[in-house]
Amino acid sequence: MKREIFFVTGTDTGVGKTVLTVLLVKFLRESGVNAAALKPICSGGRTDARKIFEAMNKALSLDEINPWHFHAAIAPLMAARAEKRKVKLSQVLAHVRALQRRFDILLIEGAGGLLSPLGEGFDSRDLIVALRATPIIVAQNKLGTMNQVLLTLEALPKNLRAKSRVVLVSPEKPDASTKTNAKLLAEFFDPEKISLLPRLNK
């Protein structure tokens, strides 16, 4: 089986990336696929990483899932600097590639949106490009989402944009656009690569 990497990014923070990552890794593992999920970098606590840890029944340690974690609930780059620490792209790539050798499918959850700074001089887009990962863009299915999704897609290199997936997550309070966003987005992006996810308890 060809080893694959999927990178779960978002249009913003709090859009449902962890919920989707947990659902995917549980489904894959329960289906007999040798899969794992990582959240290499996080700030403001390790709650998301712990949810992934629990979903995999300890197939990886918490520190393998989440090697870099910082206390302040701000962009990881600034949270690391507040602790006088540095995260380099080469370090994250080395960690991911080492674990990739152990699994057929690796899911990687980013922090914040696609261009939110993760470390010194890099963001989720840089990781996606370096790993040749398939991007999964998560967005809240509400008014304003069209612009956010299209901007995120536009920010990806053309070859990665073409193989991206978009997941629209139902918000706590749906609005008039919740029923129409997927149809409208399909005028600009492959409808077969657009999925809807109902709101689930985190």
DSSP class of residue 13 equals T
| Neighbour-count burial of 123, counting CB atoms closer than 10 A to its CB (0-12 exposed, 13-18 middle, 19+ buried) | buried
- The answer to whether the beta carbons of residues 53 and 65 sit under 8 Å apart is yes
Q: Is the dihedral of CA 20, 48, 159, 161 positive or negative?
A: positive
- For this structure, is 39 an active site residue? yes
Name the residue among 78, 133, 88, 81 with its Cα closest to residue 109. 133
Q: Report all structural domains of the chain as residue ranges with CATH numbers, in order of start.
A: 4-197 (3.40.50.300)
Residue-wise pLDDT for 2-46, tens only, equals 789 999 999 998 899 999 999 999 999 999 999 999 999 999 999
pLDDT of 150? 98
From the candidates 17, 39, 51, 142, give the one annotated as an active-site residue: 39
SS3 percent helix, strand, coil of the chain, rounded to 5, is 40, 20, 40
Angle between helices 47-55 and 17-30 (to 10 degrees): 10
Residue-wise pLDDT for 53-104, tens only, equals 999 988 999 999 999 999 999 999 999 999 999 999 999 999 999 999 999 9
pLDDT of 1? 58
pTM above 0.85, yes or no: yes
- The answer to whether the beta carbons of residues 15 and 48 sit under 8 Å apart is no
List CB contacts of 47: < 8 A, sequence separation 6 or more. none
